[in-house]
Structures are given as C-alpha cells and as structure tokens.
Amino acid sequence: MQVILLENLKNVGKIGDIIKVKRGYARNFLIKFNKALIASKINILEVNKRKELLNSKDLEFKKIAKDIFEKLNKKKFVVEKLLTENNELYGSVKPTEISKLILNKENIEIKPSQIDLVKEIKTIGDFVVKLNLHSEVQASIIIQVNKTEEQK
C-alpha cells in the first residue's frame, strides 16, 4: 500500500515522501495517528500545498524536543523495587512506569512509545534508556534500580 507522509518519521521517511508499506502498518499506525494519507492524486496535491505548514509544525516539535533533551539528557532517575532471594525483580521496569516517573519528577510528559529500553530491566543496578523525542532528537537517561527500604 502506498502512503504519503505527513510528518518526519525516523527510519521511515520525510514529510511528503510517498512510501510503500504493509497494509496493517498503514491502517493501524500511520493513517490512524494522522502520520500519513493514502497516496491518491488528490492527497498528493493536498500534501504538496500543505508541505510548508507541515514543515513549520515539524520544526516547532523539534524545538520542543530539544528543550526536553536539555532538561532530561543524562539525568538519573531512581526506582525502588522488591527483590526475590536471587536479587532479581519480581517484575521488570516497563516504559509506562518510566513515563510516570519522569512526569512525577520533572513534570515532563513522555509517552511510553517514545521510550526505548536497550535491554529489559529485571535486576538492580544502573540502566541506560533511550528517549525518542523527535525523529532527529534522541536523549538518554539513567534508571537506577534499588532495593525497597524494607529489604535493606
């Protein structure tokens, strides 16, 4: 299925690019979240007319992403978890938990889908987590996992 992009997407394309993607990806993600339109002649003409406006919106999002980058990059966040006898977590630290942690500590909203765990967080220690703030701006934070106070 061919679609025309309405925003810059990392590893996919730039605004106005006509790309071929799988039908499910187009319907369930790109079109659903207004990131693309079906590549018909009318839609292509419409996007070419709106390209300047779309580019200015993208620059605005990039500026916001850079501000967030300045506030969060290389920052450390501490999570306390219960441990088993083997010093492993009862669960793992998920992107939704990290998102809530950032919102509570820094009052910055990061969607769980923007959080890229390099590897699953299932033990105590320090872990680097990537934040995809924009297609061209990526920050990294450190999640430090400690035992809860009751277990110390």
Q: 20 Cβ partners below 8 Å, 6+ apart?
A: 1, 2
Looking at residue 64, its pLDDT comes to 93
Amino acid present at 74: K
Q: 148 near 81, Cβ under 8 Å? A: yes
Looking at residue 88, its pLDDT comes to 83
- Residue 31: pLDDT band by 50, 70, 90 thresholds? very high
Mind listing the pLDDT tens digit for each residue in 62-111?
Answer: 999 999 999 999 999 999 988 888 878 888 999 999 999 999 999 999 99
Please count the other Cβ atoms lying within 10 Å of the Cβ belonging to residue 83: 16
Q: What is the mean pLDDT of the chain?
A: 91
Q: Would you say residue 151 has pLDDT above 90?
A: no
pTM confidence score: 0.78
